[in-house]
Structure 1
């Protein structure tokens, strides 16, 4: 089980790094590159057993609040053909934060459990 979580840490390090890399053409690219880079570094720290439980739990809470704040009231999907570009973009950003939140909670609670 310990190996599974280490693999998850490395996997999400790579996924969040890729997420940061594809943000270059986003209107608010620096913000999203920063968010995904932070998530990637926390994932790497988790995999290497170099961080405590507090950091991922705090980032998980902040990301969950961000998800709730950004989630559009009229969510129209993720494809630009599904609706208004602004609503689709907000939906994509909101769910990106939800993914960050879920992974940070998994890492944080796993670290808390192993203390």
Structure 2
């Protein structure tokens, strides 16, 4: 489990950096670049055993709260052209935060278990 968690942390960190880079054409790029960059830093910190379980736990909770905040009034899926672009964008953002939160909760559990 220890090696799986470390490998997952490295992979998730790289994916988070990739996500940050791809935000350049987003309507609010700076916010999402910062969010994904923080997720990457926390992931690398977990991989290197440099963070306690509290840091990913806090970011997991913040991610859930953020997802609730940005979740659209009407969820219309993720595909552009299949509904209102604002709802689609908000749905994508909310689910991105949920994915991040799940990873952060896993990292928090892993770090708490391996202190």
TM-score range, shorter chain: over 0.9
Hey, what's the Cα distance between the residues in 2 that align with 1:66 and 1:105?
15
**How many residues get paired?**
115
Q: Show the 5 A alignment for 1:21-40.
A: 21-40=21-40
Q: TM-score by structure 2 length?
A: 0.97
Which residue of the partner structure matches residue 102 of structure 1? 102
How far residue 78 of structure 1 moved from its aligned partner, in angstroms, is 0.5
Runs of 4 or more consecutive aligned structure 1 residues displaced over 4 Å after TM superposition: none
1:53-84 superposed Cα distances (whole Å, 9 cap, x missing partner): 00000000000011111111210000112210
Q: Give structure 1 stretches of 5+ with no counterpart.
A: none
- Listed as ranges, the matches of 1:3-22 within 5 Å are 3-22=3-22
- C-alpha separation between the residues in 1 aligned to 2:60 and 2:44? 16
Which residue does the alignment assign to 1:81?
81
Equivalent-residue separation in structure 2 for 1:51 and 1:82 (angstroms): 42
Q: Distance in 1 between matches of 2:15 and 2:82?
A: 25
- Where does structure 2 lack aligned partners over 5 or more consecutive residues? none
Q: Report the TM-score when normalising by structure 1.
A: 0.97
CA distance in 1, matches of 2:7, 2:86: 36
Coordinate RMSD, CA, aligned: 0.7
How many angstroms does 1:22 deviate by?
0.2
